[in-house]
Structure 1
C-alpha cells in the first residue's frame, strides 16, 4: 500500500501526539503518587513523635521503653533546693495556673482540663463547722444561716502545704544516638495525707501538668524558677536544668504493666512494696549497665 507524503506526515503527527499524551498522563500519575507519599511521610513524622516529650525521639529509633511513676517528697533534704522559701516549685505551678501561663488537668492522662476556679476550689480547706455550730447559726440567723457560712473565711492550702508530687516519665533507649533518656511527661501535685487540714486522711490530687509545657512556659527565663544550691549561691540552676540533671530524690511507685497497677496494689504488704520499688530501680539500672557492657 502506498501513502502520499501528506498522509504519512499526518500519521506521524498523530502517533507523536498520542505518545505525548500518554507520557503526560504517566507523568501526572507519577507526580500525584510522589506528592501523596511525601505528604504521608510528613504527616507520619509529625504524628509519630510523642507530643509530651521535651526532646522527642522517633518511635523507629526507640529500642526499649518503660513508663515509670515516681513519688517525691519535697521535705527531703535532697529536694530542699526545689522547695526553697518563696521559690517553691508548687508556688510556681499555682501562680502559673492562676495567671493563665500553664494549664491544669484532672490527672496525668492530661485529657480533662481544670478551670482556674475549680483549681482554686481544690486548694480550699474543708469546712470545719460542726453540726452544733450549724444549729446555733440557724437559731440566730434563721434562713440566712447558709449565707453566713459562705461569708466566713476558709483555710486554703499554701504552696508549702503541698509537698507531695508524682512524676511520670518514659525511660527509653535511642538506638540512633546510643543513649538512654529519662523523658519526664507529667507532674502531679497532691494534698498530703498527713496534713492537719486533710480530714480525709488520704492523698488527694490537686492537678496534673504537662512537664513540657511547664519547662517551656514556666521555667525558662524565669528568675523564680530556681534550684537553690545549698553550698554555693553562684551555682543555682534553673529548674528545667535541675530536672535534666536529675537533681532530685524520688522512689518508684509504678512501672508500666498490663493492669496499670501501682506496686502497693501488686504487693499488699507495705514492706514488700518498698522492696519492690528498690528492686525496680535496680532492674532499670542494671539494664542501662548491660547496654554498655555488651
Structure 2
C-alpha cells in the first residue's frame, strides 16, 4: 500500500513539474515572440541577428504575389483586430490601429497652391465662406487655419521592406542549428518618392508567434505562391519554417547595439560585413561538427 501511495505521489509531482515547465516555456514564448522556444538548458550557442528582407527579390516574390502580398495579410489582420502591432522589437509597448494606419500613410507633398498661383493673387479656401455676407471696407483680414494636405495609404506593393529578428541557436540535445524567429517588422522603404524623410519608417513590429496564427487562420490569403505548380502553394508559416526566402544580415548583437553599416562606416562596408558575418556563422556551425 505504501509503495502504491509513493508511486502516486511521485507521478503527481512529475505531472506538476512538467506542467510548470510547460507554463514557463509558454510564458517565455508569448513574451519574446518565439513560436517554438528551445529550453535554455538545451542551448549551447545563441546569437541574435537582424536580417533585411527585400520582397522585390526573385526568391522573395512568392510571398509578395499580386493580391496575396504578405504586407496585405499583415495590415488587414491589424485592421480586423486579429493582430497586435508593437512599437519596436523589444515588444514592450503597442501601436493602436489608427497609429498603424498613420504610419503607413503619407501626405501629398504638392497639395495646395503653387508659388505662381499665390503670386497671381489666389488664396487657399476650404469653401467655409460660401454664402457669407460680404466683408465691409476697411475690415481687418481674419487669419485662416491652414488646410492640411490630404493623406493617402501606401499601396501594399509599396511596402516591400521587412526586418526579421532571430536567434541562431545550436541545440545540443538535437545537435543542430535552429533559426528561432522572434519578430518581423514591416517598414516603409526609404527609396519611395513619397517618403519625404528618406529613411526607413517602421509601420509596426509583430511577434512571429502571432503571425503564425494569422497565417494559419487565413490559408486562402497567406499564400507562398509556387510558380512551378499551382497545386503546391504553401502557407506563409511553412515558407518561414522552411526558410524559403532570401535575406541579408544588417545587425549582429553587440555591446553598442549598432548596425553593421554604423560599425564599419558606410553602406558598402556594411554589405561586405554582412557577407562576412554570414560566413562566420556557417564556419562556426561547421567547426562544431568537426570537433
Alignment match, 2:210: 213
Moved more, 38-47 or 113-122: 38-47
Which residue of 82, 88, 94 maps to 1:101? 82
Other structure's SS at 2:77 match? helix
> Deviation string for 1:43-72 (max 9, x for gaps)?
796168443221111101111000000001
- Judging by fraction of residues, say which structure has more helix: 1
Alignment match, 1:10: none
- Normalised TM-score (structure 1): 0.79
Which residue of 157, 160, 166 maps to 1:160? 157
Larger Rg: 1
RMSD: 2.8
Contact 2:169–2:177 (Cα < 8 Å) also in 1: yes
Q: How many residues align?
A: 258
Pairwise CA distance, 1:248 = 0.4
> Deviation string for 1:1-54 (max 9, x for gaps)?
xxxxxxxxxxxxxxxxxxxxxxxxxxxxxx9xx98xx67992796168443221
Contact 1:172–1:180 (Cα < 8 Å) also in 2: yes
Contact 2:53–2:246 (Cα < 8 Å) also in 1: yes
Other structure's SS at 1:137 match? coil
- Normalised TM-score (structure 2): 0.80
**In 1, distance between residues paired with 2:151 and 2:126?**
22
Q: Which ranges in structure 1 are unaligned for 5 or more consecutive residues? A: 1-30
Alignment match, 1:64: 45
State whether structure 2 residue 123 is matched by structure 1 residue 136: yes
State whether structure 2 residue 61 is matched by structure 1 residue 89: no
Aligned counterparts, 1:1-294, within 5 A = 42=20, 46=24, 49-51=28-30, 52-128=33-109, 129=111, 136-137=123-124, 146=145, 149=147, 153-294=150-291
Contact 2:83–2:211 (Cα < 8 Å) also in 1: yes
**In 1, distance between residues paired with 2:18 and 2:68?**
46
Contact 1:220–1:240 (Cα < 8 Å) also in 2: no
Change (3 A) 1:145 1:94: farther
Alignment match, 1:4: none
Change (3 A) 1:73 1:138: same
Moved more, 175-184 or 152-161: 152-161
Contact 2:108–2:150 (Cα < 8 Å) also in 1: no
Q: Which ranges in structure 2 are unaligned for 5 or more consecutive residues? A: 1-8, 130-141
**In 1, distance between residues paired with 2:253 and 2:126?**
56
Contact 1:188–1:209 (Cα < 8 Å) also in 2: yes
